Structure 1
C-alpha cells in the first residue's frame, strides 16, 4: 500500500463511482479497479459495497478513509515543508484554533510577516481543544491555539497575555437580560447549550457545583454559530466565551458574564521536539520574540 493507492481509494470514495474516479484521475477504469482489488486483498478487508448505481464504503472502508486522509494530508504537508527550504521563503503554516476573538493576535503576526514573506500562506482549522490536540498529535498542523489548560508533558507552549471571560448568551428578549451578571442559581432547570470543551472543563463544572446546581445540558456543540441560531429561537442558554459572536444591539443575542467571574487563558502550543518547515519556524520565532519567550 502506497500513497498513490490511497489517493486512488479516496477518489473512488469521493466520487462513489469507479468510472467517475477514473475520469478525475485521468486513467482508465480497468487498472483502477485492479488497484482497489489488490488493496482489498492486501488488507484482507472488503472496502466497498458495490451497488447498481453507486458504491459505498464498508465500516472498514470508512476507517481507512479517515486514516488515508490523514496520511495524504501529512504527505502534502511534508512536501510543502521540503519545498520551503528553497532560497525564497514559501509554504503553508497550518494552525488549528479554538474559537476566540484573541486569534487576532496570530492574525496580526501573520499580517506583519507577510509584508516580508508574501509567498507564505495560512490554513486555519477551527474547533475545540480536543480537535486541536488531535491535529497537533498527528502532525497535521504546525501550531495550535487552545483555551483553558495545556498538557505540558506533550506540548511546548507560550501563554498569551490575554484571556477570555465566560458568560451566557441568550435571546435578546429573554427575561435574564435585565441582569448585568448571571449566577448558576439563575440557570437552575434552564436548558443549556455547552461547547464540547466547556462540558469537559472542570472549572466550568465546579462553577455550577459550588452552589449545588446540576446543569441541564440539552445540547453540546463544537462551533458557536449554529448553536447561536438555536439560542435566537429561544431554545436555550449558551455558555460561551465573550466576543465569539455578534451580541450587539439588533443582533438578536445578548451576552452576560457569569458570576463569580471565570476567565480562560490562551496558549499557543506545538508538539514537543517538533521539526518545523521554514515558514512555520519563522512564524513561531515571531511569536516568541513578541512575548519574550526563548
Structure 2
C-alpha cells in the first residue's frame, strides 16, 4: 500500500465525496475512484459506502474507519520523520512531542522547555493530554517523544526519569461543605458522600485500595477525564471530586478548596521514553537539560 494512495483515501474520508476529493487532489474523478477501488481489492474489504444515484456523499464502513485512524497515524509519523531528517544538521530546531495526564509535574517540563527555547527559539513543543493508556499508545507508535506517567513504570519497555515532586491525592469540595472544616479527609469521611472519580479510578486503582472498599460499594455519582470539568460539577454542588492537588486553582475568590487524604496517598511521577529510542537533536537536548535539572 503506497503512502500516496493513503493520502487519497484520507482526502475522500475528509471530503465525504470522491468528486470533491478529486478536485482537492487535482485528479480526475475516474482516476481517484480507480485508486480507491484498487485499495479495496488489495485489502479484500469494502472501505466506502457509495451514495445512491441521487446522492454523491460517501461514508466509511467499519473497516474504512479503522483504516482512516491508522492512516492518519502513519501520515503523522511520516511528517515527523521527514522533519527530523531535514533538520538533522548543526542547527538545533524542530518539534518535541510530549503526552501527559493532568499533573503539576508539567511545571518542571515547562521550565526545561523554556531553558531550551531561550537558547534555541527554533524548537517548538507540542503537549497532548490523556490518560496512561493514551500516553503509552502514542509513545509506542512513535507519535510522541516523551510521556509523563504517574505511578509505576514498565522498565522492560521504557526508560524513566523520576520527577522531584510527587502528586498528592485529595478531595476537591465546596468551601461551604461539611468536610471543608477538616484539615484532612479519611476513608470514613467519604463512605456516604457523592463522589466524582476519574475514569481510570472508577475501574479500581490507588483510591479504592486506599479506601479498602470495592468501588461498587461507594456512592459514585459521576466520572471525569479532566479534573477541570469535575471542578465545575463540584462547584454546582453535585459531589466531591477525588483527584490530585495543584490541578485546580483553589486560592483567592474560588468557591472551592482542596483537602488531602489521610493516610497520605501520593504518586511518583516519571518522564518516560521508549528503550533504544533514537532521539531527534531537539529531543536529545531537551532530555539532557531535564536530567541536569532533576539530578542537581
TM-score normalised by L of structure 1 = 0.92
- RMSD after superposition: 2.2
Contact 2:208/2:215, CA 8 A, preserved across alignment: no
- Deviations along 1:140-194, one digit per CA (max 9) or x if unpaired, are 1101111122111111010011111101112343332222221121211433222
* Distance in 1 between residues matched to 2:214 and 2:228, nearest whole Å: 30
In the other structure, the counterpart of 1:63 is: 66
Which aligned pairs between 1:140-179 and structure 2 lie closer than 5 A?
Answer: 140-179=143-182
Aligned residue among 106, 129, 132 for 1:129: 132
- Deviations along 1:128-151, one digit per CA (max 9) or x if unpaired, are 111111111111110111112211
Contact 2:105/2:163, CA 8 A, preserved across alignment: no
1:2 positional shift: 1.6
1:77 positional shift: 1.4
Residues 172 and 59 of structure 1: CA distance in aligned 2, closer, same or farther (over 3 Å): farther
1:201 positional shift: 6.1
In the other structure, the counterpart of 1:84 is: 87
Contact 1:83/1:91, CA 8 A, preserved across alignment: no
Which aligned pairs between 1:93-112 and structure 2 lie closer than 5 A?
Answer: 93-112=96-115
Unaligned runs of 5+ in 2: none
Aligned residue among 237, 246, 257 for 1:243: 246
Contact 1:194/1:239, CA 8 A, preserved across alignment: yes
In the other structure, the counterpart of 2:261 is: 258
Q: Secondary structure at the match of 1:99?
A: coil
* Distance in 1 between residues matched to 2:254 and 2:48, nearest whole Å: 47
1:211 positional shift: 10
* Distance in 1 between residues matched to 2:174 and 2:24, nearest whole Å: 47
Q: Secondary structure at the match of 1:162?
A: coil
Unaligned runs of 5+ in 1: none
Residues 137 and 150 of structure 1: CA distance in aligned 2, closer, same or farther (over 3 Å): same
The runs of at least 4 aligned residues of structure 1 exceeding 4 Å deviation read 210-213
Contact 1:18/1:33, CA 8 A, preserved across alignment: yes
* Distance in 2 between residues matched to 1:225 and 1:5, nearest whole Å: 41
Aligned residue among 174, 181, 194 for 2:197: 194
Q: Secondary structure at the match of 2:125?
A: strand
Contact 1:6/1:68, CA 8 A, preserved across alignment: yes
Aligned length: 293
Residues 43 and 185 of structure 1: CA distance in aligned 2, closer, same or farther (over 3 Å): same
Residues 45 and 252 of structure 1: CA distance in aligned 2, closer, same or farther (over 3 Å): farther
Q: Secondary structure at the match of 2:276?
A: coil
In the other structure, the counterpart of 1:18 is: 18
Residues 291 and 33 of structure 1: CA distance in aligned 2, closer, same or farther (over 3 Å): same
TM-score normalised by L of structure 2 = 0.91
Residues 284 and 205 of structure 1: CA distance in aligned 2, closer, same or farther (over 3 Å): same
